[in-house]
Amino acid sequence: MLRRLQGSFPRRGGALNERDKVSIEGEQVLRPVFLFGQKMYLGIDFLITSELKLYLIEVNVGLPGGAHEYHLTHLVHFGKPSDIFRRIDWTTRKVYGKTFRDYLDSLPFMESLKPFKIWMDGMGPFPNSFHPGLRLEDKWNQYQLLKVMAPMPETIAFDAEDMVGADRFIERKKKVVLKRRVGRGGRDLQIISEPSELWKLNLIPHRYLLQEYVESKIHGYTLSVRSVALGGEFMCMYANLSPRSTSNHGILTFVSSGNPFGLIEKDFKTELFNQKSWEAEIWFGENEPQYLRHNLYEEEVAKTSLLIPEPFLRTIKDLSIKVERFYEGLNLSSLPKACFEE
């Protein structure tokens, strides 16, 4: 069953009226209202096709990875540390009047977000406290919010009781990706080419998406780009290369402006790092979960860089800022319920 969020979003500020409501499957819910003061630090993931078509695929809130990874690619590329951590702290002081750590502590959903992420990984219980901001972790909610303002792969919420709709979507798209509505690390992600492949799976109702498959590869590697935005400003980006069908935790690669689109050195060497990430130090301190050690410490960085033409690079930066500004204006309490509330 394909559910749609209809209508445009309202202007910043102003009182709520009937035009600020939308209907989702016949249920009246409030459309996000733009209010000043909602803070967001975002990690935004993009796919890029060989024809230089850009697709936004996911937005990560809270304290997503990105700055540490960029710092390592900068270190390998230039042979010296970046200033990204100083710039992030300077930005929060300038925009929000507080240090980055104090900014994070001021986010209303942070208390419940950490246990929620661990629950997402299947390594802990659902958090005792709930904040509506957690609904942004539902990728179906993300799609409904962002598809009107950013290029995204066509997506439907998979309903096991509507196999006809799923079959038609697969037949029309030829190749789709099955993914969790709430999850990370590519867990349960599968590429589906035939409806019969979907029938064989034993899936939890209302917990999955079917998404148009986007071929984002470069020189044999699956490619994604993570961009970080904060306070209405672009902070940094890096590319992720993976020999697998998913690009999570692959080989980190520096991004440079230039032509043609591709890696400068295709047969590149890498450098390994085993150090605690900046985000993990802030997020967990000395109490990081052992099951996350690989993700929080170990990185592989390519001794090459990914060239992206300047106009296209600018599009990624501008879109990252646009999404961050949009998220800052969301009234989190008006977001549609997520799949984990059903």
> Which of 44-48, 203-207, 281-285 is least confident?
203-207
- Region 26-45: mean pLDDT is 58
Angle at CA of residue 234, ends 228 and 238, nearest 5°: 45
Cα Rg of the chain, angstroms:
20
DSSP 255-309: EEE-SSSEES-SS--EEEEE---HHHHHHHTT---GGGHHHHHEEEEEEEEEEE-
Q: What is the DSSP code (8-state) at residue 195?
A: H
Q: What's the chain's length in residues?
A: 342
pLDDT value of position 26? 41
- Region 297-314: mean pLDDT is 97
Give the list of residues 6+ apart from residue 149 with CB closer than 8 angstroms, or none.
322, 323, 326
Q: How confident is the model at residue 38 (pLDDT cuts 50, 70, 90)?
A: low
pLDDT digits (tens, 9 = 90+) for 247-272: 677 999 999 999 999 999 999 999 99
Q: How confident is the model at residue 195 (pLDDT cuts 50, 70, 90)?
A: confident
pLDDT digits (tens, 9 = 90+) for 93-106: 999 999 999 999 99
Checking if the pLDDT of 319 tops 60, the result is yes
pLDDT value of position 316? 98
Give CA torsion, residues 192, 197, 202, 208, to 10 deg. 20
At 291, which amino acid appears?
A: Y
- Region 187-191: mean pLDDT is 85
> Which of 8-12, 46-50, 264-268 is least confident?
8-12
260 cis-preceded (ω within 30 degrees of 0): yes
pLDDT value of position 230? 97
- Region 243-248: mean pLDDT is 74
CB 316 within 8 Å of CB 237: yes
- Region 121-140: mean pLDDT is 92
Please state, for a pLDDT cut of 70, what percent of the chain lies above it: 88
Q: Which of 116, 72, 87, 110 is nearest to 282 (CA)?
A: 110
Q: What is the DSSP code (8-state) at residue 148?
A: T
Mean pLDDT of the chain: 87
pLDDT value of position 6? 33
pLDDT value of position 34? 32
**Structural domain boundaries in the chain:** 18-153+214-341
Residue 210: which H helix or E strand, with range? strand 208-212
Q: How confident is the model at residue 148 (pLDDT cuts 50, 70, 90)?
A: very high
pLDDT value of position 93? 96
For the packed helices 84-96 and 67-78, what is the interaxial angle rounded to 10 degrees?
140
